[in-house]
Structure 1
């Protein structure tokens, strides 16, 4: 009944990620919600939009259309849509800060070829201007979304319309993840 009420009040079908969190609390409940809230909304040198873009990038590398749409829609709330789209297409040529590019280089390797990640990769990120906390926060986003993208794909989440992703982004910014 809660899911139906929220869907009716929001004027959209509640996204599958929220449905899993509400309905299967034993699967994706309080622990993942709290971890996600800390990672995506807790204190950080990264803005909310930058962390959401990192999540959308991990989703891109893990071929998760639901998470690309969901987290891209939140990133757009604090970044220009053209910048987010350019980053999702190729962050190396996108008009984003060099510090963010350096973080994305690190988490791309962490996501795609984790066995090849070395202390030299972390050192390169630090030399590019990231602090240790920046690097840890970016790695936390990548770690979290390595899990989330896989369960979204495994559970075959329904892909909302762009308008519904936008509505959900507003709710997510207001309510958070926990």
Structure 2
């Protein structure tokens, strides 16, 4: 059920910001941004900090890899908004839409490195089953992924398991392909701040 509060529940300064974004980008502010600005003291500020660190903080995973993880977790969760947003962002980051679509279509045959494939497999299991075991971790580590990379991938997974559920709970409005592409440019330029 879409809450009307996402359309009107903001302070005057935030409303001005949204108007400026719409004027300069030619697109409405996505609901993901609206949610972060609504009650920033309760959810928004913490969510932005955590997600920005997971997606843009120092990591051996590239920005493109982490955006692909976000798209993959969102696909497992069947979150249409986040699939669109992060598929577009990963495609732009890799400069290879076909690679991203291949992963989301069939992980096992996609043209990616084995460490990333093993990591996505583990994130998919964690998202579907809410558990992974020592054998799952051994498989990821044996594919050449470091413990720190596992931690970073788990942070991406946590951020998007939360975001996907909020997107579905608040019935985020679907953007046009051009809207998702514009949002991707913004995310690649500014991150999640």
The answer for the alignment partner of 1:109 in structure 2 is: 125
**Among 111, 114, 139, which residue is 1:124 paired with?**
139
2:59 equivalent to 1:44: yes
**Among 8, 17, 33, which residue is 1:2 paired with?**
17
How far apart, in 2, do the equivalents of 1:101 and 1:147 lie?
22
> What's the CA shift for 1:5?
1.8
How far apart, in 2, do the equivalents of 1:155 and 1:124 lie?
36
> What's the CA shift for 1:16?
0.6
Structure 1: 4+ residue segments shifted above 6 A:
none
Kept in 1: contact 2:93–2:188 (CA 8 A): no
Gaps of 5+ in 1: none
Gaps of 5+ in 2: 1-15
2:78 equivalent to 1:63: yes
- How many pairs align? 177
Three-state SS of the structure 2 residue aligned to 1:77 is: helix
Counterparts of residues 15-26 of structure 1 (less than 5 Å): 15-26=30-41
Kept in 2: contact 1:37–1:176 (CA 8 A): yes
Q: Give TM-score, length-normalised by structure 2.
A: 0.88
Kept in 2: contact 1:41–1:48 (CA 8 A): yes
Kept in 2: contact 1:21–1:27 (CA 8 A): no
The answer for the alignment partner of 1:171 in structure 2 is: 186
Three-state SS of the structure 1 residue aligned to 2:20 is: helix
Three-state SS of the structure 1 residue aligned to 2:159 is: helix
Kept in 2: contact 1:70–1:169 (CA 8 A): yes
Kept in 2: contact 1:58–1:146 (CA 8 A): yes
How far apart, in 2, do the equivalents of 1:137 and 1:92 lie?
22
How far apart, in 2, do the equivalents of 1:44 and 1:146 lie?
20
Q: Deviations over 1:86-127 (max 9, x none)?
A: 111111111111111010111111111123x11111111101
